[in-house]
Structures are given as structure tokens and as C-alpha cells.
Amino acid sequence: MASDDSSEGGSARNSKTELQTLENGQNGLKSTEKYVFVYLIDCISPYMTIREEDSDAPIHYKCYKVAVNAMEPSKFTVYRSQTKFTRENIDITETYYQIMHLFKSPDSTIEEMKFGEAFQFKMEGYPEEERMDQLFAKIFSSVTFQNLQVSCKVSMLEWNLNIKSESFLKFLNYLDPMYLQKLHLTGPVIMDGLMDKLMETEHWKCLSEIKINGAILANLENFYHFNVVDVQIKELNPWVLSEFIKNYHTKNLYQPNNFTIRSKRLLEPSYAEQVWISFDPFDPLESFKNVESWGVRLKLFEIPRDSVNTRVVFILNGKISGYVWDKETVLSSFMIFDQTPEGYFSDVSAD
């Protein structure tokens, strides 16, 4: 919602007058005057003051996404979906203002909040990380200066950016941990120590779904409480993985759940055999006995008091996945597992 030239000129003149008044006169500035003064000095927005009184009426967004415009990196593209989908290309000032407006509307809700372009659409030389860091720096500075207590109600956060600094954790603190259910970290790079700090937050304890693209160092015990897990783990011990499979199913007996653990080690048949060694042997139906390497790839688990479904755990293409499937389908067509299951991430990077 950029202003036209005449409007911007008028706002700039008004801003200059206000700034001179503040500089010339007044000791003991009121808090609102301090706010105007700081933002005029910082040149964040010539029209910020006239928007101070904007309505804080609650808004519900199905999706709210901010990404750097690939064709014009000085601009941000903001996608919003309420009753209809809108898209606009705006500068950093207006983008900053819109996010701050969300923060000042505590009763507004967002089903999906996304930052950065999805990893499969990244372009070579795309200057997204630097531009997004500039935007976050403005937001963090403003929240600190205004001493805002931000608790934005977001159901799912998708962070399509590499995590090389504390910016992600700072932003996460602005989200209501009791409202956030799903967290997707799709960037291939995650800084050392990030997971330890993330797992100490209230958000981690309340999440029901976690998906992480980049390889991480983490204890699998910290993932038991999730209904949906899709992560890539470095230095994955086969015994630890076996224990995760047993305990994950035990702790999630009566709710929909699935997991995918990715590791280069899972590409090795001998590693898969080590994962299965502590499980009872599974004797397939006669028609399956000629299927090559069936015992290395698949295990079935009974679900107590459920005569319809079974839990299927199988290894394929560097991933071990566990799902609930109906027994009839599993037992009638073992070959369904020859196909790569639909997953969030397809890559397995080096440990």
C-alpha cells in the first residue's frame, strides 16, 4: 500500500516539522513523542505516525508469508490469505510495519506463517538471507525499544531459511507457545547448538509436529511426544534408532502419528540389519518370500485392540519411516513399499 508521490512528499514535510519541534523544544518528552522521535531519526517510515491509530481489530489469516522478491531483491513479497488470496511487492519499511501491526493485535490468529521462499524454489545467487536478516533486525529493535510483550497466535511456523544466527530463536519467542502446533525448518543449514536451545523452550514441549531438513545432532528421546516427525540425524546409532521405534509406537498408541528419520547410514544394508536385530523376526506370507531383501526393509507392529490397522516400519532410500496402514492393504500387496512414500524432504545430506 505504497503512497503516491504527493502523499509521500506531504508526509515527509510533516515528519520534518515534527522532528524540528522535538529537537528544538522539549525537555521531558512524552512517551509517544519519544516513539515518533526515534523512528523519524531512524528514517524507518515517513508515515508511521499517521498509522499509530490503526485499528487493532482481530484478523484471521489462513496463511501469511514474507519472502524476498527474486526479480527485485530490494522488495519483499507478502502473501496473505483470508477469505481470498492477496499478494503485494513492498519495501522493507512497509513489510516491517505490517508485521509490527500483527504483533500489536494480540487476538489475531494465523494458521500458517512462512518466512522465505520454499527450499525447492531457491535460485542461485538469491540474496534472501541478508535481506531477511535486515528485516528481522528492524523488528527486534522495535520490539525492544517499545518494550512490547508479543505473543502472536500462529498454528504453524515454516522457516524457509538457513539458521546461522539467533534470529530464529528470537522470533520464536514472539509466538504463543500454547498456540503453536507445527514447526517446519526447511533450510539445509542449521547452526551448531541450535537444537539444544530449541529443545529447552516451551514451544518444543507443546509442539505436535516437527520437520527439519538440515542434518542435526539430537537425542531421539526428545521426539517421542510428537505426532509427526521428519528429521535428519547425524551420527545415528542403530541401537538408539531401534529403541526410538519401539518407544515411539508405545507412547503414541492411540493417536494418528508417523515418523521419518533420515541418515546416510540407512543406505547401508548392514546398518539396517543392526536396526532390526532386537526385533522379533517377521515371517511374511508365502507370496512375499521371494521378494528380495524383504527382511532388511520392513517390520510390522500390532496395535493393541485394533483389528483393522497395523504399524508399518520400513527402510528405503536412506530413510526409515513408520506409518499406520490397514492390514488388508499391507498383506495383500507387499510391493506398495517398493515405491518411495510421499515425504516432506527427499534429500539425505552428508553427516
- Convert 216-231 into a string of H (helix), E (strand) and C (coil): ECCCHHHHCCCCEEEE
Answer for the pair 238, 232: CB distance below 8 angstroms, yes or no. Answer: no
- The answer on pLDDT for 147 being more than 80 is yes
The residue extents of the domains of the chain are: 6-53
Share of the chain above pLDDT 90, in %: 42
| Alpha carbon 298 to its chain's center | 30
Answer for the pair 214, 187: CB distance below 8 angstroms, yes or no. Answer: yes
Q: Binning pLDDT at 50, 70 and 90, where does residue 205 land? A: very high
Q: Binning pLDDT at 50, 70 and 90, where does residue 127 land? A: confident
What is the residue-averaged pLDDT of the chain? 78
Whole-number pLDDT of residue 10: 46
Whole-number pLDDT of residue 222: 93
Specify which residues 66 forms β-bridges with. Answer: 78, 115
C-alpha 271/C-alpha 227 separation (Å) is: 26
C-alpha 182/C-alpha 112 separation (Å) is: 9
C-alpha 313/C-alpha 291 separation (Å) is: 17
C-alpha cell at 233: 540425524
* Average confidence (pLDDT) over 264-271: 87
pLDDT: is 115 or 129 the higher one? 115
* Average confidence (pLDDT) over 191-214: 95
Whole-number pLDDT of residue 154: 97
Residues 195-233 as b or e (16 or more Cβ within 10 Å = b): beebeeeebbeebebbbbbbbbebebeebebbbbbbbbb
